A = this chain, B = another copy of it.
């Protein structure tokens, strides 16, 4: 049994489509303060193992790394959204005037039963931070325009977005790597 620890039904649905047989469980795990998603995930898996002693565990982290901000906010993106909202982040990047390139990353961490060493699988996408456009998606989708795309993630339909989804990439690598 592989338990995907998430409270987000959308993420679980996307992952399940790629890795059949996943079981969802919502655990309120604290996130530690780190800019490296691997460290955040490893700590979460460690904590989750105290609650779920059997089976394999999966944890996911999505982060946004803006080059002009030295890779910030990274996994701290939720606090930037909370305090500045997506449009405030775009405004910050524009006014700073040091370029708008960024990388979106989805890291999946997997802890096999009996193991203390997680395995990691990643999906990444380069893009630029732009003024908000679109109504779809959530979080920073409306200000992230993937490289080679004329639309922001917020302007893509659900199906269009899934084709280039970094979460689908990460869970795809996971499906290959673990099975």
A51 on interface, CB distance cutoff 8 Å: no
Within 8 A of B (CB), among A127-172: none
Within 8 A of B (CB), among A71-107: 71-72, 74-76, 78-80, 82-84, 88, 91-92, 95-97
Contact A70 B88 (CB under 8 A): yes
A97 proximity list for chain B (CB < 8 A) = 95
Contact B84 A70 (CB under 8 A): yes
Asked if A82 meets B35 with Cβ closer than 8 Å, knowing A76-B76, A95-B97, A97-B95, the reply is yes
* Among A83, A88, A95, residue most surrounded by chain B Cβ atoms (within 10 Å): A83
Q: Which of B40, B78, B82, B96 is A95 in contact with, Cβ under 8 Å?
A: B96
Bound-state Cα–Cα, A30 to B40, Å: 10
A75 proximity list for chain B (CB < 8 A) = 33
A113 on interface, CB distance cutoff 8 Å: no
Bound-state Cα–Cα, A35 to B71, Å: 19
A31 on interface, CB distance cutoff 8 Å: yes
Contact B83 A70 (CB under 8 A): yes
| CB-defined A-B contacts under 8 Å, sample of 14 | A32-B32, A32-B33, A33-B40, A33-B78, A35-B79, A35-B82, A35-B83, A69-B84, A70-B82, A70-B83, A70-B88, A72-B80, A72-B83, A91-B96
The 7 closest A-B pairs by CB, nearest first: A70-B83, A31-B33, A30-B32, A95-B95, A72-B83, A33-B33, A95-B96
